[in-house]
Structure 1
Amino acid sequence: MTGPSSGTPGGPASTSAGPTATSPTSIPDRAFFALPAANQAGGGPRFVSGPVLPAFCGTTPGEESVVARRGRILPFKLSGGADVVVPDGLYRHSVTSYRPGRADDALRELRQAVRDCPRQDEPNAAGEIERQRLLAGGGYGDESVLVEIRAPHPSGYGGNTGGDEVHLLRAIRVGDVVTVLWERGWEGTSTDVAQFDADSRRATEALRRWLG
């Protein structure tokens, strides 16, 4: 899912593919949610280009009908933490506009990509093989897809020994727009489900406010 991103203040310049009368042709700042003050950490969000989904055994679902896309990296702190500099986790968060009636195809392709790739072909940056599966976790936007990404903890990394590092990815569709919240962890952390679900709701609400 490495398509064009929109050119708006604070983000990289972009092109649009196949603009239409009803699909947004640019992604403004207000399409993205703001973290509560208690969760802000690590210098705040930074807009970036690059992949917005894992490489599911080389498959990149949902690319053919992209109109505009914008993505950011968002570090966060769990509520109640004392250190606001070192994050507890990191989101890869994106918003993508699709041609009318094609955003649901992108989610269907995502589901199929996960089913077809329960185990990655190549190791991740830590040298571990990731496994992924679909989870129940609907109720966001018009429809949503929840993916679990699991890999063994690298030996001794971040003080962890044994067990798995588990991260969640949720794609949420509102009309012809899809927002993806992909939690990547920080130095061996796994996704905090309560925080992830709360931020998924914030991402959905931001889309609805923008799209009106």
Structure 2
Amino acid sequence: MDNMNLNKHISGQFNAELDDIRNRVLAMGGLVERQLEQALDAISNLDAELAQSVIQGDHKVNGMEVSIDEECARIIAKRQPAASDLRLVLAISKTITDLERIGDACVKIAKVALDKRLKKQQPLLVSLDSMGRHATRFLHGTLDALARMDADAAFELHKEDAKLDKEYEATIRQLMTYMMEDPRSIPEVFDVLWATRAVERVGDRCQNICEYIIYYVKGKDVRHVSYEEMEKDLNL
């Protein structure tokens, strides 16, 4: 908790509760990061066993979201936190929702890996793999910024979503071209499109988490704000 520069309280129990939800959200983030890595490995190698493992592991992510959210609600009701403490609890409550959605995206990617027809269309997976690795780095950086509650890092990472979006658009164009050149590939292309969209959504969720970090540290809601306005308002 020292890394987050949290205020110490008269109640040692309150400090312990804040420490606990911080550690639990970081553990959830670590689980989701592994899920994403494994889902991408599954689709890259068309590993049905690994894909099933990702799908079955989603219940752990869901369970962590529910338990952490319940603890956040309990803290608000019991402790009635104010100022930075309230922002922390709210930021964590919002973060776990986005982490759970990333978990859902991992399941979508893993389900595509179960399509045996893709074995004949390996070239379709090249751009998806590159984009997926970018999303993995984005998520890793976001979780690192969350662990340190680093607003500067969160601001820089926030820009990664625009880069990922450009990769997404380029991948979509490639897939459309491939489909027009070989209409027989349409079913497989649609599967890969489904997975590509899921990867793009991971970037959106990471961007949201970066905004929650900035909200906690700076006390500013930067949703729907341009980078120029964000940089000016936050003195970053």
TM-score (structure 2 length as normaliser): 0.24
Higher helix share: 2
TM-score (structure 1 length as normaliser): 0.26
Bigger radius of gyration among the two: 2
Higher strand share: 1
